[in-house]
Structure 1
Amino acid sequence: MAVDFVTILNNLDSAFMLRFEAFHQSNWGVMADWAYMDLSKSHQQAKLGVFNARVRQGVLEVALAHKQSSPSVGQWINYVGLRRWDNTYQFDLEPNNFPQTALVDRDEDWIDIILGFKIDKPINNNWLFSTSGDIGGFGLAAKLTGSLKLGVSYHISDEWDASLLYKGTYVDYNTGDEADHSYFSYKTITHGPIISASYQF
């Protein structure tokens, strides 16, 4: 099932994305990326009452990284890290003449190992082409997970950059027995544009 951008936007309560990178002069460093969204929807039916749905998702990535550079490639970063998924699903019914009934109240979280790269290649004095990607899972938690991001950045000043990127993230995860109520399957591709500003110090 595909959920379009307009549907997500119309039911979005809150969302944010944060990214952090820190490197030592030895070229070793750490990277972190955190994305969160909170969606909710209520629907009233005259005979039954009010149906409420809420979905929350947080994805946190932390990695140990090493960077190098060359005139032909630009700056290249290799990294190994962890991606933590934190999903909450709540569905309940408020009948007209009875107490509220919880239909679904479930939390699912897991951690995947990821291996990735990031390349920043100058186009000219102000523009930079940027791409990054990773692959992980390997059956330790998710069967497979991966992401790909590409776009451009504009150098505003020594401290500030602005970026326009497109990112897609895939995951194939399941747990439990299909014949049991505890079974959970999560297989999605989440993708869309990212407009961001970054500060370097």
Structure 2
Amino acid sequence: MSQKLLAPLLGLACAFSSYSYAQQWQFKVEPYLLLTSIDGNSTIGTVDAPLAVDFDTILNNFDSAFMLQFAAFHQSNWAVMADWGYIDRSKSHQQARLGVLNTQVRQSVLQVALAYKQSSPNVGEWINYLGLRRWDNSYQFNLETNHFPQTSFVDRDEDWVDIILGFKIDKSITNNWLLSSSGDIGGFGLATTKLTGSLKVGVSYHLSDEWDVSLLYKGTYVDYDTGDEADSSYFNYQTITHGPIISASYQF
């Protein structure tokens, strides 16, 4: 009889333990739309001058990107945060003197960080974090010239990882409105990135205990190069990705 009672009691104990552990965590999922512009310069190997000249035009043709943020906060105030964004765009650009430039540019950025949360009446909720930001870029350019039978073609993949230090501040304005700001800096020349950083500012509106909506503006800068400038292995990427953000977050 005692053995028959022991099994369900152990089951209840395990279930209660799992529930108690889950109660120690709070999760936040936030998909958002970034209306993207990318300004800057890039050099890929020893490509023909017309291709290099048109790269700024290519970058400025991005329209939008879908991104997702996730955070898990423990009751000890420690947290794990992640931010992922992906852009993939193809476009043809006609130039009267040169020909048709067909492009496909993909940019993926994944950020993972360990964070600690604090709060005070004057500052609001303050989060400091240390993490990694991984860039994964792919470029395909095909120039169909007007004056030559052959075409110029470039197909290049570049990826790298940066160490970042950052912060996030949420300051209450009224009962439902928050002023939100966050930023980070990284690279520090530890690998091939000279400098990278981001800054985001805006407002959030508290709809309920579970839902928030936000309108912000974000900019991310990177200055990266690798290889020898004299040969085809060289790659330089110095850009600012920026634009307004519209997001909705769910907390549970």
Paired residues for 1:19-98 under 5 Å: 19-43=69-93, 51-92=101-142
Once the two structures are superposed, what CA deviation does each residue of 1:156-197 show, in whole Å capped at 9, x if it has no partner?
Answer: 111110000011111110000111111000001111110111
Amino acid aligned to 1:169: T
Cα distance between partner residues in 2 of 1:185 and 1:178: 9
Q: Classify the secondary structure of the residue corresponding to 1:110.
A: strand
**Retained in 1: the 8 A contact 2:58–2:103?**
no
Amino acid aligned to 2:128: N
Q: How many residues align?
A: 195
Q: Decide whether aligned partners of structure 1 residues 49 and 118 sit closer, same or farther in structure 2, where only a CA change above 3 A counts.
A: closer
TM-score, with length taken from structure 2? 0.70
Q: Which has the higher strand share?
A: 1
Structure 2 partner of 1:7: 61
Gap runs ≥5 in structure 1: none
**Retained in 1: the 8 A contact 2:131–2:163?**
yes
Amino acid aligned to 1:147: S
Q: Classify the secondary structure of the residue corresponding to 2:117.
A: strand
For the aligned residues, what is the CA RMSD?
Answer: 2.6
Q: Classify the secondary structure of the residue corresponding to 1:16.
A: strand
Q: Which has the higher helix share?
A: 2
After TM superposition, the runs of 4+ consecutive aligned structure 1 residues lying more than 3 A away are 1-7, 43-46, 48-51
Aligned sequence identity (%): 78
Once the two structures are superposed, what CA deviation does each residue of 1:124-161 show, in whole Å capped at 9, x if it has no partner?
Answer: 10000110010000112311000010100000111110
Q: Decide whether aligned partners of structure 1 residues 138 and 5 sit closer, same or farther in structure 2, where only a CA change above 3 A counts.
A: closer
Cα distance between partner residues in 2 of 1:6 and 1:184: 19
1:131 maps to 2:181: yes
Bigger relative contact order (CA 8 A; separation at least 6): 2
Cα distance between partner residues in 2 of 1:44 and 1:131: 40
Q: Decide whether aligned partners of structure 1 residues 180 and 118 sit closer, same or farther in structure 2, where only a CA change above 3 A counts.
A: same
Q: Classify the secondary structure of the residue corresponding to 2:61.
A: helix
**Retained in 1: the 8 A contact 2:198–2:218?**
yes
Gap runs ≥5 in structure 2: 1-39, 41-55
Q: Decide whether aligned partners of structure 1 residues 44 and 119 sit closer, same or farther in structure 2, where only a CA change above 3 A counts.
A: closer
Paired residues for 1:137-152 under 5 Å: 137-141=187-191, 142-152=193-203
Q: Classify the secondary structure of the residue corresponding to 2:114.
A: strand
Q: Decide whether aligned partners of structure 1 residues 164 and 45 sit closer, same or farther in structure 2, where only a CA change above 3 A counts.
A: closer
Cα distance between partner residues in 2 of 1:123 and 1:43: 46
Q: Classify the secondary structure of the residue corresponding to 2:222.
A: strand
Q: Radius of gyration: which is bigger?
A: 2
